[in-house]
Structure 1
């Protein structure tokens, strides 16, 4: 499902337009001072914190437990953006959320870089930069699409009715990259910079817990979740060969 909306860009418009001139300067290849670069990075990090990295429709479960832990990502700048998920819960039949996920385009960057969501979730792709962008996925993606080139102030939508990894690219800016990772059930979490994650509301039972990372090997562990208790499961992810 795709449709075009002309609007004042969601909750991040103020941040986007406050440094739109800086972004435009980058496009024109003008030199930036160290102070300008630091300020742009600060505003980008603030924007990253304002958008959800997970979108799910979590059912209410009596006596639910949780899974928590730390993921260490070897030879990476930090431990952020690894996804930890339960492979199967019951029959893996869960209705998708009505809430849309958002992947914005700010300062020639996808924000957030990684979004995890349930199958059937709609993702909004606003352009909050002062330059035109094109969002598309490669032929190897779980979902193939191409939104065409569009200017600032436009939002386009895609329904992710698939399971798996969908890389995000831009025909205009080759350096831009992001990921949408979609699952059958709502029991997943994305790690923070320190590698922390928590999966809430898990029905008691035995499960296979897995990881996803854009550059590192997948790992899995068997876990048992007890009623009202937190199960700890840590991972150390290594580079793919």
Structure 2
């Protein structure tokens, strides 16, 4: 049996503080009879465009163009929205450690533009034959500031605490990206179909947040029953 709920309110929190520092540490423990949360994130408002006017390195960065501040797929589905649970004290294991997360400067864009990682190491990469100065911020405080003058260059850095890290390039002012440093493994990033899925959730009541950089975050309450899926259709709105 699946329960269906529809949410369309917004929480007025600034985009630079989309993920608050954790109230408690996270402990890995066995999850018995866990449930899941799944659904689709949509946006029905107007899609504003950002004018990109490269003033240098145009052979790599491209020509002037308009780009949407929120990318939508079929049915107004939101791409690259992050959906996550907050204040989770214990539960499933983190995904297996593999390749160190990367932030790539590629064709004067950040790839990926939005990602979620646990606190810890990050490799900043330059795939372009031009200088990028990649600058990350926790709020207004610099998290890292790295000059990468060479194609193929990789510089390791560290994001030591949970929070939202906004990324820009001091050499190419239109570049912007976001890294959500999670304090628990209960999160999902939507693809072009807007779908998300958070699995192995211990039964109980939770606070869930859905966020996209243009709209800002939406917060809602959700209940999870053991062995069942709770389905949410989430409509983001510009604050």
Give the TM-score, by structure 2 length. 0.68
Partner of 1:77: 71
Query: Residue 123 of structure 2 contacts residue 156 of structure 2 at CA under 8 Å; is this kept in 1?
Result: yes
Query: Residue 142 of structure 1 contacts residue 163 of structure 1 at CA under 8 Å; is this kept in 2?
Result: no
Partner of 1:113: 113
Distance 1:70 1:176, change over 3 A: same
Question: What is the CA–CA distance in structure 1 between the aligned matches of 2:195 and 2:138, rounded to whole Å?
Answer: 32
Note the aligned Cα RMSD (angstroms).
2.6
Q: How many residues align?
A: 183
Query: Residue 123 of structure 1 contacts residue 157 of structure 1 at CA under 8 Å; is this kept in 2?
Result: yes
Dislocated runs of 4+, deviation >6 Å: 92-97
Query: Residue 28 of structure 2 contacts residue 91 of structure 2 at CA under 8 Å; is this kept in 1?
Result: no
Question: What is the CA–CA distance in structure 2 between the aligned matches of 1:93 and 1:142, rounded to whole Å?
Answer: 32
The alignment status of 1:178 with 2:177, answered yes or no, reads yes
The alignment status of 1:64 with 2:9, answered yes or no, reads no
Cα offset for 1:133?
A: 1.2
* Greater fraction strand: 2
Distance 1:138 1:86, change over 3 A: closer
| Per-residue CA distance 1:137-183 (angstroms, 9 max, x = gap) | 24735652201233112111222112221111111111211111112
Query: Residue 71 of structure 1 contacts residue 196 of structure 1 at CA under 8 Å; is this kept in 2?
Result: yes
Stretches of structure 1 lacking an aligned partner (at least 5 in a row): 1-56
Question: What is the CA–CA distance in structure 1 between the aligned matches of 2:138 and 2:226, rounded to whole Å?
Answer: 43
Bigger relative contact order, structure 1 or 2 (CA pairs below 8 A, ≥6 apart): 2
* Greater fraction helix: 1
| Per-residue CA distance 1:102-160 (angstroms, 9 max, x = gap) | 11111111111001122x23111111112221111247356522012331121112221
